[in-house]
Amino acid sequence: MRNPKVAAVPFVAVAVFTMILGSVYYQLGLSSEAGLQNRTGLFFFLCLELAYFNGNAVDLFIRDRPQFRHERACGFYRTSVYFLAKLLCEAMPIKLGPILFFFPILYAMTGLRKSFAAMFFFETTCLCMGTAAAGIFMFSVLLFDHVSLGYVIAGIILSFMMSFGGFLMNVVSAWWLGWCRYLSIFWYAYSSLSINEIHGATFCPMSTNINSKYLTSPFGHGNFSRTSCVSGDDFLTSKGIVFEPTWRAWINPLALALFSCAVYFLCYIRLRLTKVY
């Protein structure tokens, strides 16, 4: 990378935000009072971090546009070679490096499911989400040929996606808008993280002195008593998240990966259509 100090900024930002999340959600338990709510809150903030912490990885094609035009006109390289080199050697390390380094630490701090397979699935989902979000910013900047305008448009797109991500609005109750979730990278990431952590889990009350009115289930078929436990599968069903059969969990990271491929292909097409002079 040409400027190590600039490249270090996203690492520091992600490190600080990750440590804050790890401290706030330190060692999540399985209590019905806070276990579910804290996990969904953690996943929501993780999606926000992955979506908006893009550093300087999205405007690199704009910064080097004059040099690219000159060198391509002189026949130094093909557009595809230039695009792949910049993407793999400059953009992806800045975006994915912090995820690979800091998110396993966050996983351990928050006390999520203690399984290598679960942590691998968690990392895979975060990498796919980060790649897709960076692609949206990159395409917006390339499309409008302006960094500030591209950031604004990408922010609007991600805000729309966040609205149908499954956390701010229940897509099951709003059935006339439920189809919008399939256009949201937040939905795929949130669903994937929720299935990985909540599917098959049971959340039971830690105290018997809690007023029963606070144990009314928003997703079951009745009210919970002081000794009732909450099924993670019931919670996922209430959110419209499909988790059966088991292989369906991988559809969400796969959808994020396909979305990433599509948006980066559009970035390449836009770069290829750039006029030499």
Residues 147-205 have pLDDT tens digits of 889 899 999 999 999 999 988 888 877 777 778 899 999 999 999 999 999 998 999 88
Model confidence at 146, pLDDT cuts 50, 70, 90, reads: confident
> Cβ(196)–Cβ(113) under 8 Å?
yes
pLDDT score for 11: 85
Q: Which two tokens stand for residue 202?
A: 């049971």
> Where exactly are the structural domains of the chain?
4-272
Q: Which two tokens stand for residue 12?
A: 């520091």
Instruction: Judge whether residue 246 has pLDDT over 90.
Output: no
SS in 3 state form for the chain?
CCCHHHHHHHHHHHHHHHHHHHHHCCCCCCECCCHHHHHHHHHHHHHHHHHHCCCCCCCHHHHCHHHHHHHHHCCCCCHHHHHHHHHHHHHHHHHHHHHHHHHHHHHHHHCCCCCHHHHHHHHHHHHHHHHHHHHHHHHHHHHHCCHHHHHHHHHHHHHHHHHCCCCCCCCCCCCCCHHHHHHCHHHHHHHHHHHHHHCCCEEECCCCCCCHHHHECCCCCCECCCCCCEEHHHHHHHCCCCCCCHHHHHHHHHHHHHHHHHHHHHHHHHHHCCCCC
pLDDT score for 45: 94
* Greater model confidence, 228 or 2: 228
Residues 86-136 have pLDDT tens digits of 899 888 888 888 899 999 999 999 999 999 999 999 999 999 999 999 999
Instruction: Judge whether residue 225 has pLDDT over 50.
Output: no
Instruction: Judge whether residue 220 has pLDDT over 60.
Output: no
Beta bridge partners of 196: none
pLDDT score for 3: 66
Instruction: Judge whether residue 53 has pLDDT over 90.
Output: no
Residues 7-44 have pLDDT tens digits of 777 888 889 999 999 999 999 988 877 888 899 999 99
Q: How far apart are CA 133 and CA 52, in angstroms?
A: 7
pLDDT score for 222: 46
pTM, to two decimals: 0.87
